[in-house]
Amino acid sequence: MNKTKKFLLSEKEIPEHWYNITADMPNKPLPPLHPGTKEPIGPEALTPLFPMELIKQEVSQEQWIAIPEEVREVYKLWRPTPLFRATNFEKLLDTPAKIYYKYEGGSPAGSHKPNTAVPQAYYNKMEGVKKLTTETGAGQWGSALSFACQLFGIELEVYMVKISYEQKPYRKMLMNTWGAKVFASPSDNTESGRKILQQFPNSPGSLGIAISEAVERAASDENTKYSLGSVLNHVLLHQTVIGLEAIKQMELAGDLPDVVIAPFGGGSNFAGIAFPFLRLNFQEGKNIKCIAVEPASCPKLTKGEFRYDFGDTVGLTPLLPMYTLGHNFIPAPIHAGGLRYHGAGVLVSQLLKDKLIEAQAVQQLECFDAGVKFANTEGIIPAPEATHGIAAVIKEAQKAKEEGKEKTILFNLCGHGYFDMTAYQDYFEGKLSDHFLSEEELHSGLKYLDTPKIQ
């Protein structure tokens, strides 16, 4: 055992503001379009789904947005989160690279998701909302919002992607324990769900379908609003507490990362750690490389198209400018359910288009191998989503070794894998496989897409 290097902040150092990267982006994101007319829409179009404060944040150009005191109070339950140097993992990799990780798994829901679930529940509560609907993939988002809604006394209905509903029963029970109602999606609660079930009775579901169901439910009841766990600007905004804390902690360590790495589903985890470091690039002339890591079986960043697309499968949401595989794309049932989404958030898409960030795709087996190596040296068992970041870290550490460079790597360990133990068991028993998409599969979702392309 090497010395444990942990860098802690005091409660007073929980950030007082979220960082809004829009203010610093050289090219601002394009506006959303109306799903029917395909004309640009303003914030008022979002009022059936979101409370006004969140809509304001969605379109804000302010660089800093104050975190309400009530939200910081709840953050105190698990924030500031620790930052560690992974000295034993470094030793195993026999690398000259220094590897740091920020650990977000200590929250009651076990991931970074409560960072946005709590303010979302709070703003809805403030505006008198009685009930929320949402979707969830692996269940990290659903359980985070269940926890937050329970604390603020808001009812919650969760549409959980069917394959994850079956793979991760403990996540469902967790949501139930916090008082939420959970349905396997596609369900027959909604038009959207029934439509999919008619076409594909054995559909394993997808985040896109689950979003359609949750949005439909919220839009059809005026006392109910909708809540999303990633993709949207205000969600990414809330997650910047991760990177803001990490910057202070890297200072404590007397270090600055050359590379910042995070898994990528819709962007909340990646944005959370990377955006505050990108600010240092924008404002202080730093040159920190930020890498978003997606599963090879759902490669929107590395193989998708940059164009307008729906956020959901059925086509109920506004059209957003993003890297996408097409809203009909149904990804393979990998265990990293949180990364099975057809599109990338608007902010991250624009940054990638402008080459201000990088993207990589990794296969499932490589990820689990990385996760086990990490667990056996550092003790924490990472969520399958988080293993994608670790796989990329190993690559960077090996490159550093080949190049003989002392590089500093920081990654976001966004959640623990204690609800995903069956995935590890399947991996040990040789039941998991990689997923190589044929050209046909890759284009299956884009082929018939009639949404506007972007040059």
Q: Which residues contact 450 (CB under 8 A, 6 or more apart)?
A: none
Residue 99 engages a second copy in binding (rule: CB under 8 A): no
Residue 418 engages a second copy in binding (rule: CB under 8 A): yes
Q: Which residues contact 132 (CB under 8 A, 6 or more apart)?
A: 120, 121, 124, 145, 149, 154, 155, 156, 157, 218, 224, 225, 226, 227
Angle, in degrees to the nearest 10, between helices 52-59 and 114-126: 130
Q: Which of 28, 76, 130, 405 binds a second copy (CB under 8 A)?
A: 76
Q: Which is nearer to a second copy, 379 or 452 (CB)?
A: 379
Contact status, residue 50 vs residue 285, Cβ threshold 8 Å: no
Residue 68 engages a second copy in binding (rule: CB under 8 A): no
- Distance, CA of 30 to CA of 26 (rounded, Å): 12
Least Cβ distance, residue 7 to a second copy (angstroms): 10
Angle, in degrees to the nearest 10, between helices 346-353 and 268-284: 50
Residue 365 engages a second copy in binding (rule: CB under 8 A): no
Q: Which stretch binds a second copy (CB under 8 A): 166-174, 201-209, 217-225, 334-342?
A: 166-174
The tokens for 133 are 């609907």
Closest CA to 300 of 329, 280, 272, 320: 329
Q: Which of 38, 64, 176, 197 binds a second copy (CB under 8 A)?
A: 176
Closest CA to 297 of 361, 352, 343: 361
Residue 6 engages a second copy in binding (rule: CB under 8 A): yes
Contact status, residue 454 vs residue 307, Cβ threshold 8 Å: yes
Percent of residues in the chain assigned helix, strand, coil, to nearest 5: 45, 20, 40
Least Cβ distance, residue 418 to a second copy (angstroms): 5
Residue 170 engages a second copy in binding (rule: CB under 8 A): yes
Residue 141 engages a second copy in binding (rule: CB under 8 A): no
Q: Which of 92, 126, 256, 372 binds a second copy (CB under 8 A)?
A: 372
Instruction: State phi, psi for 308 to the nearest 5 degrees.
Output: -75, 140
Least Cβ distance, residue 399 to a second copy (angstroms): 27
Q: Which of 277, 308, 411, 424 binds a second copy (CB under 8 A)?
A: 424
Residues 427-446 that bind a second copy (CB under 8 A): 428
CA dihedral over 16, 276, 338, 442, signed as positive or negative: positive
Q: Is 152 helix (H, G, I), strand (E, B) or coil?
A: helix
Q: Which of 8, 198, 220, 403 binds a second copy (CB under 8 A)?
A: 8
Residues 286-345 that bind a second copy (CB under 8 A): none
Closest CA to 107 of 137, 156, 65, 151: 151
Q: Which of 63, 302, 398, 422 binds a second copy (CB under 8 A)?
A: 422
Q: What is the DSSP letter of 46?
A: G
Residue 70 engages a second copy in binding (rule: CB under 8 A): yes
The tokens for 180 are 């939420």
Q: Which is nearer to a second copy, 152 or 306 (CB)?
A: 152
Say how many residues touch a second copy, by CB under 8 A.
44
Residue 379 engages a second copy in binding (rule: CB under 8 A): yes
Residue 419 engages a second copy in binding (rule: CB under 8 A): yes
Q: Which of 33, 132, 145, 151 binds a second copy (CB under 8 A)?
A: 151
Q: Is 317 helix (H, G, I), strand (E, B) or coil?
A: coil
Q: Which is nearer to a second copy, 218 or 380 (CB)?
A: 380
Residue 380 engages a second copy in binding (rule: CB under 8 A): yes
Q: Which is nearer to a second copy, 343 or 384 (CB)?
A: 384
Q: Which of 25, 108, 435, 454 binds a second copy (CB under 8 A)?
A: 108
Q: Which stretch binds a second copy (CB under 8 A): 71-79, 128-136, 211-219, 399-407?
A: 71-79
DSSP string, 394-455: HHHHHHHHHHT---EEEEEE-BB-TT-HHHHHHHHTT--------HHHHHHTTTT--SPB--
Q: Which of 62, 73, 188, 403 binds a second copy (CB under 8 A)?
A: 73
Q: Which stretch binds a second copy (CB under 8 A): 3-11, 21-29, 339-347, 348-356?
A: 3-11
Q: Which is nearer to a second copy, 147 or 341 (CB)?
A: 147
Contact status, residue 321 vs residue 308, Cβ threshold 8 Å: yes
Count CA atoms closer than 13 A to 284's CA, side-chain side: 9
Contact status, residue 159 vs residue 192, Cβ threshold 8 Å: no
Residue 261 engages a second copy in binding (rule: CB under 8 A): no
Least Cβ distance, residue 273 to a second copy (angstroms): 20
The tokens for 42 are 């303003």
Name the site residues for a second copy (rule: CB under 8 A). Answer: 1-4, 6, 8, 10-11, 70, 73-74, 76-77, 84, 88, 106, 108, 110, 147, 150-152, 169-170, 173-174, 176-179, 372, 375-377, 379-381, 418-419, 421-422, 424-425, 428
